[in-house]
Protein backbone atom coordinates (compact mmCIF):
# COMPACT_ATOMS: atom_id res chain seq x y z
CA UNK A 1 0.00 0.00 0.00
CA UNK A 2 1.25 3.51 -0.79
CA UNK A 3 2.59 5.29 2.32
CA UNK A 4 -0.23 7.22 3.96
CA UNK A 5 -2.81 6.21 1.34
CA UNK A 6 -5.26 5.19 4.08
CA UNK A 7 -5.77 8.90 4.78
CA UNK A 8 -7.59 9.16 1.43
CA UNK A 9 -9.80 6.09 1.91
CA UNK A 10 -13.33 6.87 3.14
CA UNK A 11 -13.91 3.18 3.86
CA UNK A 12 -11.12 3.16 6.46
CA UNK A 13 -12.52 6.18 8.28
CA UNK A 14 -16.04 4.75 8.15
CA UNK A 15 -14.83 1.45 9.62
CA UNK A 16 -13.08 3.27 12.48
CA UNK A 17 -16.07 5.48 13.22
CA UNK A 18 -18.64 2.68 13.29
CA UNK A 19 -16.38 0.40 15.35
CA UNK A 20 -15.80 3.11 17.94
CA UNK A 21 -19.51 3.90 18.24
CA UNK A 22 -20.36 0.23 18.68
CA UNK A 23 -17.66 -0.24 21.31
CA UNK A 24 -18.85 2.89 23.12
CA UNK A 25 -22.31 1.34 23.34
CA UNK A 26 -20.83 -1.84 24.81
CA UNK A 27 -20.32 -0.33 28.27
CA UNK A 28 -24.05 -0.09 28.90
CA UNK A 29 -24.55 -3.60 27.52
CA UNK A 30 -21.90 -5.07 29.81
CA UNK A 31 -23.41 -3.34 32.82
CA UNK A 32 -26.85 -4.73 31.94
CA UNK A 33 -25.45 -8.21 31.36
CA UNK A 34 -23.69 -8.25 34.74
CA UNK A 35 -27.09 -7.89 36.40
CA UNK A 36 -27.77 -11.58 35.67
CA UNK A 37 -24.43 -13.07 34.58
CA UNK A 38 -20.96 -13.34 36.05
CA UNK A 39 -18.08 -11.48 34.38
CA UNK A 40 -16.70 -14.64 32.76
CA UNK A 41 -20.12 -15.74 31.59
CA UNK A 42 -20.81 -12.35 29.97
CA UNK A 43 -17.57 -12.68 28.01
CA UNK A 44 -18.27 -16.29 27.01
CA UNK A 45 -21.87 -15.72 25.91
CA UNK A 46 -20.91 -12.57 24.00
CA UNK A 47 -18.19 -14.28 22.00
CA UNK A 48 -20.04 -17.56 21.61
CA UNK A 49 -22.65 -15.53 19.74
CA UNK A 50 -19.97 -13.76 17.70
CA UNK A 51 -18.32 -17.13 16.95
CA UNK A 52 -21.63 -18.54 15.73
CA UNK A 53 -22.16 -15.59 13.40
CA UNK A 54 -18.67 -15.94 11.96
CA UNK A 55 -19.28 -19.67 11.58
CA UNK A 56 -22.42 -19.03 9.54
CA UNK A 57 -20.51 -16.56 7.39
CA UNK A 58 -17.66 -19.03 6.93
CA UNK A 59 -20.10 -21.75 5.82
CA UNK A 60 -21.98 -19.47 3.42
CA UNK A 61 -18.82 -18.10 1.80
CA UNK A 62 -16.75 -21.30 2.02
CA UNK A 63 -14.10 -19.42 3.92
CA UNK A 64 -10.63 -20.87 3.55
CA UNK A 65 -8.86 -22.33 6.56
CA UNK A 66 -5.73 -20.59 7.86
CA UNK A 67 -2.35 -21.97 6.84
CA UNK A 68 -0.91 -24.21 9.61
CA UNK A 69 2.11 -21.91 9.95
CA UNK A 70 -0.17 -18.96 10.76
CA UNK A 71 -2.29 -20.71 13.40
CA UNK A 72 0.02 -20.04 16.41
CA UNK A 73 0.09 -16.28 15.73
CA UNK A 74 -3.67 -16.12 15.11
CA UNK A 75 -4.34 -18.14 18.27
CA UNK A 76 -2.13 -15.78 20.27
CA UNK A 77 -3.97 -12.78 18.85
CA UNK A 78 -7.33 -14.29 19.78
CA UNK A 79 -6.19 -15.22 23.27
CA UNK A 80 -4.88 -11.72 23.97
CA UNK A 81 -7.49 -9.61 22.17
CA UNK A 82 -10.55 -11.65 23.13
CA UNK A 83 -9.88 -13.91 26.13
CA UNK A 84 -7.47 -11.87 28.22
CA UNK A 85 -8.85 -8.44 27.35
CA UNK A 86 -12.52 -9.14 28.02
CA UNK A 87 -12.19 -11.49 30.98
CA UNK A 88 -9.66 -9.24 32.74
CA UNK A 89 -11.68 -6.09 32.04
CA UNK A 90 -14.99 -7.63 33.15
CA UNK A 91 -13.52 -8.92 36.41
CA UNK A 92 -11.58 -5.72 37.00
CA UNK A 93 -14.60 -3.48 36.58
CA UNK A 94 -16.47 -5.36 39.31
CA UNK A 95 -14.58 -3.25 41.88
CA UNK A 96 -12.47 -0.71 39.96
CA UNK A 97 -14.22 2.64 39.55
CA UNK A 98 -15.26 3.72 36.07
CA UNK A 99 -12.94 6.73 36.16
CA UNK A 100 -9.92 4.68 37.14
CA UNK A 101 -10.74 1.95 34.62
CA UNK A 102 -11.07 4.41 31.73
CA UNK A 103 -7.77 6.04 32.65
CA UNK A 104 -5.95 2.69 32.86
CA UNK A 105 -7.39 1.45 29.54
CA UNK A 106 -6.23 4.71 27.98
CA UNK A 107 -2.63 3.55 28.42
CA UNK A 108 -3.22 1.11 25.56
CA UNK A 109 -2.19 3.52 22.75
CA UNK A 110 1.03 4.25 24.65
CA UNK A 111 1.86 0.54 24.91
CA UNK A 112 0.91 0.06 21.25
CA UNK A 113 3.22 2.85 20.10
CA UNK A 114 6.13 1.47 22.12
CA UNK A 115 5.59 -2.08 20.86
CA UNK A 116 5.08 -1.06 17.23
CA UNK A 117 8.33 0.90 17.33
CA UNK A 118 10.22 -2.01 18.86
CA UNK A 119 8.78 -4.93 16.85
CA UNK A 120 7.22 -3.88 13.55
CA UNK A 121 9.25 -0.83 12.59
CA UNK A 122 6.54 1.82 12.84
CA UNK A 123 7.97 5.21 13.73
CA UNK A 124 6.17 8.08 15.42
CA UNK A 125 7.55 11.59 15.17
CA UNK A 126 7.89 13.89 18.15
CA UNK A 127 4.45 15.25 17.25
CA UNK A 128 3.08 11.72 17.39
CA UNK A 129 4.39 11.01 20.87
CA UNK A 130 3.25 14.42 22.07
CA UNK A 131 -0.22 13.78 20.66
CA UNK A 132 -0.52 10.45 22.48
CA UNK A 133 0.36 11.96 25.85
CA UNK A 134 -1.83 15.01 25.26
CA UNK A 135 -4.77 12.69 24.57
CA UNK A 136 -4.00 10.70 27.71
CA UNK A 137 -4.04 13.93 29.73
CA UNK A 138 -7.40 14.75 28.17
CA UNK A 139 -8.82 11.41 29.33
CA UNK A 140 -7.60 12.15 32.85
CA UNK A 141 -9.48 15.47 32.78
CA UNK A 142 -12.62 13.72 31.51
CA UNK A 143 -12.45 11.25 34.40
CA UNK A 144 -12.04 14.05 36.92
CA UNK A 145 -14.70 16.21 35.30
CA UNK A 146 -17.23 13.38 35.38
CA UNK A 147 -16.64 12.92 39.09
CA UNK A 148 -14.64 9.77 38.57
CA UNK A 149 -12.83 8.35 41.56
CA UNK A 150 -9.29 7.68 40.36
CA UNK A 151 -8.26 5.71 43.44
CA UNK A 152 -6.84 2.29 42.60
CA UNK A 153 -7.23 -1.08 44.25
CA UNK A 154 -5.74 -4.53 43.55
CA UNK A 155 -8.09 -5.40 40.67
CA UNK A 156 -6.75 -2.37 38.82
CA UNK A 157 -3.93 -4.70 37.76
CA UNK A 158 -6.51 -6.73 35.83
CA UNK A 159 -7.58 -3.62 33.93
CA UNK A 160 -3.94 -2.81 33.24
CA UNK A 161 -3.38 -6.34 31.92
CA UNK A 162 -6.37 -5.82 29.60
CA UNK A 163 -4.80 -2.61 28.24
CA UNK A 164 -1.49 -4.36 27.66
CA UNK A 165 -3.17 -7.40 26.07
CA UNK A 166 -5.05 -5.34 23.51
CA UNK A 167 -1.84 -3.49 22.63
CA UNK A 168 -0.02 -6.75 21.91
CA UNK A 169 -3.09 -7.93 19.97
CA UNK A 170 -2.70 -4.98 17.57
CA UNK A 171 0.96 -5.82 16.96
CA UNK A 172 0.48 -9.58 16.58
CA UNK A 173 -2.41 -9.04 14.14
CA UNK A 174 -0.51 -6.98 11.59
CA UNK A 175 1.24 -9.89 9.84
CA UNK A 176 -1.83 -12.16 9.41
CA UNK A 177 -3.82 -9.20 8.11
CA UNK A 178 -1.43 -9.03 5.15
CA UNK A 179 -2.48 -12.57 4.15
CA UNK A 180 -6.13 -12.76 5.17
CA UNK A 181 -9.13 -10.49 4.80
CA UNK A 182 -10.42 -8.62 7.85
CA UNK A 183 -13.40 -11.00 8.21
CA UNK A 184 -11.24 -14.10 7.78
CA UNK A 185 -8.70 -13.02 10.37
CA UNK A 186 -11.34 -11.80 12.82
CA UNK A 187 -13.23 -15.08 12.50
CA UNK A 188 -10.12 -17.12 13.27
CA UNK A 189 -9.13 -14.86 16.18
CA UNK A 190 -12.60 -14.82 17.75
CA UNK A 191 -12.89 -18.60 17.52
CA UNK A 192 -9.45 -19.00 19.09
CA UNK A 193 -10.24 -16.47 21.81
CA UNK A 194 -13.60 -18.02 22.67
CA UNK A 195 -12.26 -21.53 23.26
CA UNK A 196 -10.40 -20.75 26.53
CA UNK A 197 -13.52 -19.06 27.89
CA UNK A 198 -15.37 -22.37 27.81
CA UNK A 199 -14.14 -22.80 31.39
CA UNK A 200 -17.05 -20.52 32.28
CA UNK A 201 -19.60 -22.74 30.50
CA UNK A 202 -20.82 -24.72 33.57
CA UNK A 203 -21.86 -21.52 35.33
CA UNK A 204 -23.35 -20.07 32.15
CA UNK A 205 -26.00 -22.77 31.74
CA UNK A 206 -27.42 -22.15 35.18
CA UNK A 207 -27.37 -18.39 34.76
CA UNK A 208 -29.09 -18.59 31.37
CA UNK A 209 -32.05 -20.35 32.96
CA UNK A 210 -32.50 -17.67 35.62
CA UNK A 211 -31.38 -14.52 33.78
CA UNK A 212 -33.65 -11.58 33.17
CA UNK A 213 -34.60 -11.34 29.45
CA UNK A 214 -33.21 -7.79 29.28
CA UNK A 215 -29.79 -9.00 30.46
CA UNK A 216 -29.71 -11.81 27.91
CA UNK A 217 -30.77 -9.48 25.10
CA UNK A 218 -28.02 -7.08 26.12
CA UNK A 219 -25.37 -9.79 25.84
CA UNK A 220 -26.81 -10.90 22.48
CA UNK A 221 -26.42 -7.30 21.30
CA UNK A 222 -22.83 -7.32 22.58
CA UNK A 223 -22.08 -10.46 20.58
CA UNK A 224 -23.55 -9.20 17.31
CA UNK A 225 -22.48 -5.57 17.17
CA UNK A 226 -19.61 -4.64 19.56
CA UNK A 227 -18.41 -8.23 19.14
CA UNK A 228 -18.60 -9.52 15.58
CA UNK A 229 -19.22 -6.32 13.59
CA UNK A 230 -16.90 -3.95 15.46
CA UNK A 231 -14.00 -6.42 15.61
CA UNK A 232 -14.22 -7.07 11.86
CA UNK A 233 -14.31 -3.34 11.10
CA UNK A 234 -11.35 -2.67 13.38
CA UNK A 235 -9.38 -5.47 11.71
CA UNK A 236 -10.10 -3.87 8.35
CA UNK A 237 -8.75 -0.52 9.58
CA UNK A 238 -5.74 -2.23 11.16
CA UNK A 239 -4.92 -3.82 7.82
CA UNK A 240 -4.88 -0.39 6.17
CA UNK A 241 -2.97 1.84 8.63
CA UNK A 242 -0.19 1.78 11.26
CA UNK A 243 -1.16 0.15 14.56
CA UNK A 244 0.37 3.01 16.54
CA UNK A 245 -1.84 5.53 14.73
CA UNK A 246 -5.02 3.47 14.80
CA UNK A 247 -4.70 2.87 18.55
CA UNK A 248 -4.92 6.61 19.23
CA UNK A 249 -8.52 6.58 18.01
CA UNK A 250 -9.37 4.71 21.21
CA UNK A 251 -9.09 8.12 22.88
CA UNK A 252 -12.40 8.93 21.22
CA UNK A 253 -14.15 6.42 23.50
CA UNK A 254 -14.48 8.65 26.59
CA UNK A 255 -15.61 11.48 24.31
CA UNK A 256 -18.20 9.19 22.71
CA UNK A 257 -19.45 8.18 26.15
CA UNK A 258 -19.97 11.85 27.09
CA UNK A 259 -21.85 12.61 23.86
CA UNK A 260 -24.05 9.51 24.10
CA UNK A 261 -24.98 10.34 27.70
CA UNK A 262 -25.65 13.96 26.73
CA UNK A 263 -27.89 13.20 23.74
CA UNK A 264 -29.54 9.99 24.95
CA UNK A 265 -29.80 10.48 28.71
CA UNK A 266 -29.74 14.25 28.95
CA UNK A 267 -26.68 14.19 31.22
CA UNK A 268 -25.00 17.57 30.81
CA UNK A 269 -21.21 17.11 30.98
CA UNK A 270 -19.05 19.20 33.27
CA UNK A 271 -16.90 21.90 31.71
CA UNK A 272 -13.75 20.06 32.84
CA UNK A 273 -14.93 16.93 31.00
CA UNK A 274 -15.63 18.96 27.85
CA UNK A 275 -12.17 20.52 28.06
CA UNK A 276 -10.66 17.06 28.48
CA UNK A 277 -12.56 15.83 25.44
CA UNK A 278 -11.28 18.72 23.33
CA UNK A 279 -7.71 18.04 24.49
CA UNK A 280 -8.04 14.32 23.68
CA UNK A 281 -9.29 15.08 20.19
CA UNK A 282 -6.49 17.58 19.62
CA UNK A 283 -3.99 14.87 20.50
CA UNK A 284 -5.55 12.43 18.05
CA UNK A 285 -5.48 15.07 15.30
CA UNK A 286 -1.79 15.71 16.00
CA UNK A 287 -0.95 12.02 15.66
CA UNK A 288 -2.89 11.65 12.41
CA UNK A 289 -1.59 14.77 10.70
CA UNK A 290 2.01 15.04 11.88
CA UNK A 291 2.56 11.92 13.92
CA UNK A 292 4.23 9.48 11.50
CA UNK A 293 7.69 9.48 10.03
CA UNK A 294 8.09 8.71 6.35
CA UNK A 295 11.72 7.66 6.65
Q: Is the predicted pLDDT of residue 207 greater than 80, yes or no?
A: yes
Task: Tell whether the torsion through CA atoms of 148, 154, 160 and 165 is positive or negative.
Answer: negative
Percent over 70 (pLDDT), the chain: 88
Question: 56-111, pLDDT tens digit by residue?
Answer: 999 999 999 999 999 999 999 999 999 999 999 888 877 776 666 767 787 888 88
Question: 219-266, pLDDT tens digit by residue?
Answer: 999 999 999 999 999 999 999 988 888 988 888 877 777 777 677 657
Q: Is the predicted pLDDT of residue 38 greater than 60, yes or no?
A: yes
For residue 52, the Cα-to-chain-centroid distance in whole angstroms is 20
The number of CA neighbours under 13 Å toward the Cβ of 259 is 12
* Comparison of pLDDT for 162 and 141, the residue scoring more: 162
Model pTM above 0.85: yes
Bridge partners, 292 (sequence order): 124
What angle, 0 to 180 degrees and rounded to 10, lies between the N-to-C axes of helices 156-173 and 85-92? Answer: 160
For residue 295, the Cα-to-chain-centroid distance in whole angstroms is 29
Please state the rounded mean pLDDT for residues 133-147: 74
Q: Which residue from 74, 117, 124 is spatially nearest to 235, judged by alpha carbons? A: 74
Task: Tell whether the torsion through CA atoms of 44, 46, 47 and 51 is positive or negative.
Answer: positive
User: What number of other Cβ atoms are within 10 A of residue 227's Cβ?
Assistant: 31
d(CA 102, CA 146) in angstroms, rounded, equals 11
The number of CA neighbours under 13 Å toward the Cβ of 196 is 17
Amino acid sequence: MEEGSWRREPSTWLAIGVALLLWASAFAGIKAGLESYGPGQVALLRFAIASFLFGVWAFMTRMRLPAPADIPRIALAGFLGVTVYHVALNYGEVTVTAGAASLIISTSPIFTALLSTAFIGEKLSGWGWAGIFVSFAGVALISLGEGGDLSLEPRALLVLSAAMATSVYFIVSKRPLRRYSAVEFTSYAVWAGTLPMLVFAPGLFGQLAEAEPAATLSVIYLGIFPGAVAYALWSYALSRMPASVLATFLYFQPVNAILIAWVWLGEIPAMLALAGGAISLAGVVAVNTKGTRTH
